[in-house]
Amino acid sequence: MTIAAIEAGGTKFVCGLLRAGGHDCSPPAVLAKTSIPTTSPEETLHAVAAFFEGQAKAHGRPDVAGIGSFGPVELKPSSPDWGRVTSTPKPGWSGADIAGFFMRSLGVAVAFDTDVNAAAYGEYLWGSARGLKDFVYLTVGTGIGGGVFSGGGLVHGLSHPELGHLRLAREADDPFPGLCPYHKDCLEGLASGPAIEARWGKPGRELPEGHPAWELEARYLARAVAAYACVLSPERVLLGGGVGMRPSLAERVAVLLGEELAGYLPALSDPVRLAAYVARPGLGADAGLFGSAAIAMRMPED
Amino acid sequence: MTIAAIEAGGTKFVCGLLRAGGHDCSPPAVLAKTSIPTTSPEETLHAVAAFFEGQAKAHGRPDVAGIGSFGPVELKPSSPDWGRVTSTPKPGWSGADIAGFFMRSLGVAVAFDTDVNAAAYGEYLWGSARGLKDFVYLTVGTGIGGGVFSGGGLVHGLSHPELGHLRLAREADDPFPGLCPYHKDCLEGLASGPAIEARWGKPGRELPEGHPAWELEARYLARAVAAYACVLSPERVLLGGGVGMRPSLAERVAVLLGEELAGYLPALSDPVRLAAYVARPGLGADAGLFGSAAIAMRMPED
């Protein structure tokens, strides 16, 4: 099966033509891959379609397409707006019919979900959550969001989880007001890449190991993971994204998670279990692209 | 089908012999019902068995038993400790084999889950969550806990959700330190019945409508519901328990939930949807007993 995988991000669309073998144990082979800046829907969507068109001679046309999209998006299959971006501050993108465009231009069936749900599904099939029925994939970067697996399937519910907009108890010595335009000091407002930069005056990549920024970052992430553990009882939490995958961050989050839970959850009361509880995505930065292929190959039950 | 339904609570065991008709649209008929104080496992479990024994002549023996139990309990079917209380401060109950006792004494198959999961399942079949695939049942009383439905099934995960132990952002003008022995100011530590009594010097039932206790209570519950909405995207949240079912509390929680979300979730951005989003359990105080029957009649897939 040849798959058009599209990780539709707010800054770029990562596109791959992938070929899946006869078994599911490893991610599909990447036949061709490109990255296209997210400008207007008109320009970006056509550039993506042109990429797949250009690959047709060498590799053939895709049999199916999977799109993991930035949001908010409409996911209810029964909605006339299924596959569209709903309302976004991103100029021109409110109402953009992403799934419909590729159904027409590629002439294939399209699986469509949030970028984070797709990444979670990729991690479930081929990454650090292989075989787990209940886990959380959290990405920490420009924003904070996540995909949730529960009982062996992706959680959609009323719309989809918004893990980054969880409001947290503040650290007493953190005067930063937070920068979420809706909630100020929700997790995203306190701990996203832009929040780190606004609080410390430098982007995270310029803040060395040992800088107090990282202890505070780990503390807030541990507090969020503790909340996910109380609400969802996941078997593991994956920490992805440019900030989330920083070396030693997951390890520190696991230690502080133990403090946050204070021994309450017996299944998470020893350091060995805690250390395995917070992990990096096995597909790393490719979780989104492979995940977009994954949802096309095997759509969740609902 | 005749069902032995047992709501195994920390202060009392509510037991009913119920008869289910040929269809699922309404809860089973209650043939007999009793309440037995929770003392030692030896004494309480035998008294419960004696109750069902005593009903055998009039109504016949049960075909199956359903137990919704206080926790923490072991729910993994693969565990040798399945159906037991794990570690509890309750004298004598650590390790008590509740499910095993009734399998032997009643000689029937036993469905076993947490009291709150059972209640959630009852609400799904016959109550205020009928037909919803994603919802939360929260009970606010002596403690705070909850059952979670996601994708049409109960969430178990690593163990089971602990909705009451979610840590919240505090209200600036609330000096009460909280009374959870593990976390001090988690939701249960701030908003359970005992927390209300400790903060205001009187139990909730003596605090009149309009007392500031209720606005603070609604605020913390709204904040918790906002967290559940961000993590799980439920279609509805049911507010049960002695405190939770207080008149006008759910309505106030719904209004404050709108403030907490600040318009971020489009599906919950108008007052009409919000008002329907936080509801009382349709089975009221019987959610636990009927829910225990419900899990026996139709066990969740996993």
pLDDT-based confidence at residue A23 (cuts at 50, 70, 90): low
Interchain proximity B235–A152, CB inside 8 Å:
no
Peptide bond between residue B72 and the one before it cis (omega within 30 degrees of 0)? yes
pLDDT at B302 over 50: no
Q: What is the mean pLDDT of residues A254-267?
A: 91
Q: What is the mean pLDDT of residues A220-244?
A: 97
pLDDT-based confidence at residue B301 (cuts at 50, 70, 90): very low
Question: Which pLDDT score is estimated for A64?
Answer: 95
pLDDT averaged over every residue in chain A: 94
pLDDT at A302 over 60: no
pLDDT at B156 over 50: yes
| Closest by Cβ to B227, choosing from A151, A167, A260 | A167
What is the ipTM score, two decimals? 0.90
Q: Distance (Å) from the C-alpha of residue B224 to the closest C-alpha of chain A? A: 9
H or E element, residue A6? strand A2-8
Q: What is the mean pLDDT of residues A3-15?
A: 95
Q: Structure tokens of B257?
A: 């939930």
Which of A81, A232, A235, A257 to mutate: most B Cβ within 10 Å?
A232
Question: Which pLDDT score is estimated for A236?
Answer: 98
Please tell me which residue of chain A has the smallest CA distance to B228.
A231
Q: Distance (Å) from the C-alpha of residue B262 to the closest C-alpha of chain A? A: 6
pLDDT at B163 over 60: yes
% residues pLDDT > 90 (chain B): 87
Dump pLDDT digits (tens) for B4-19.
Answer: 999 999 899 999 999 9
Question: Which pLDDT score is estimated for B45?
Answer: 98
State the SS3 of B15-54.
Answer: EEEEECCCCCCCCCEEEEEEEEECCCHHHHHHHHHHHHHH
Question: Which positions ≥6 away from A82 have C-beta within 8 Å?
Answer: A74, A75, A76, A99, A112
Question: Which pLDDT score is estimated for B264?
Answer: 86
Question: Which pLDDT score is estimated for B82?
Answer: 96
Dump pLDDT digits (tens) for A28-73.
Answer: 999 999 999 999 999 999 999 999 999 999 999 999 999 999 988 9
Question: Which pLDDT score is estimated for B22?
Answer: 64
| Closest by Cβ to A267, choosing from B159, B168, B260 | B159
Interchain proximity A169–B165, CB inside 8 Å:
no
Question: Which positions ≥6 away from A270 have C-beta within 8 Å?
Answer: none
Interchain proximity A231–B234, CB inside 8 Å:
no
Question: Which pLDDT score is estimated for A24?
Answer: 66
| Closest by Cβ to B226, choosing from A157, A167, A226 | A167
Q: Distance (Å) from the C-alpha of residue B93 to the closest C-alpha of chain A? A: 16
Residue of A247, A271, A238, A19 lying closest to A123 (CA atoms): A238
Distance CA A209, CA A299 (A): 40
Q: How many pairs of residues across A and B have Cβ atoms under 8 Å apart?
A: 152
Please tell me the pTM assigned to this model. Answer: 0.92
Question: Which chain A residues are within 8 Å of B162, Cβ to Cβ?
Answer: 229-230, 233, 264-265
Dump pLDDT digits (tens) for B239-257.
Answer: 999 999 999 999 999 999 9
Dump pLDDT digits (tens) for B207-235.
Answer: 999 999 999 999 999 999 999 999 999 99
pLDDT at A299 over 90: no
Interchain proximity B234–A157, CB inside 8 Å:
yes
Dump pLDDT digits (tens) for A107-136.
Answer: 999 999 999 999 999 999 999 999 999 999
Give how far Cα B155 sits from Cα of A69, A148, A199, B84, Å: 26, 12, 37, 19
Q: What is the mean pLDDT of residues A209-222?
A: 97
DSSP state at residue A165: G
pLDDT at A4 over 50: yes
Q: Distance (Å) from the C-alpha of residue A295 to the closest C-alpha of chain B? A: 17
Question: Which pLDDT score is estimated for B47?
Answer: 98
Please tell me which residue of chain A has the smallest CA distance to B301.
A151
First CA to last CA across chain A, in angstroms?
A: 22
First CA to last CA across chain B, in angstroms?
A: 22
pLDDT at A11 over 80: yes
Interchain proximity B260–A157, CB inside 8 Å:
no
pLDDT-based confidence at residue B87 (cuts at 50, 70, 90): confident
Question: Which pLDDT score is estimated for A300?
Answer: 41
pLDDT averaged over every residue in chain B: 94
% residues pLDDT > 70 (chain A): 98
The per-residue DSSP string of B191-247 comes to HSHHHHHHHHSS-GGGSPTT-HHHHHHHHHHHHHHHHHHHHH--SEEEEEHHHHTST
| Closest by Cβ to A161, choosing from B151, B232, B266 | B232
Q: Distance (Å) from the C-alpha of residue B78 to the closest C-alpha of chain A? A: 15
pLDDT at B182 over 80: yes
Question: Which pLDDT score is estimated for A74?
Answer: 92
Which of B84, B85, B87, B150 to mutate: most A Cβ within 10 Å?
B150
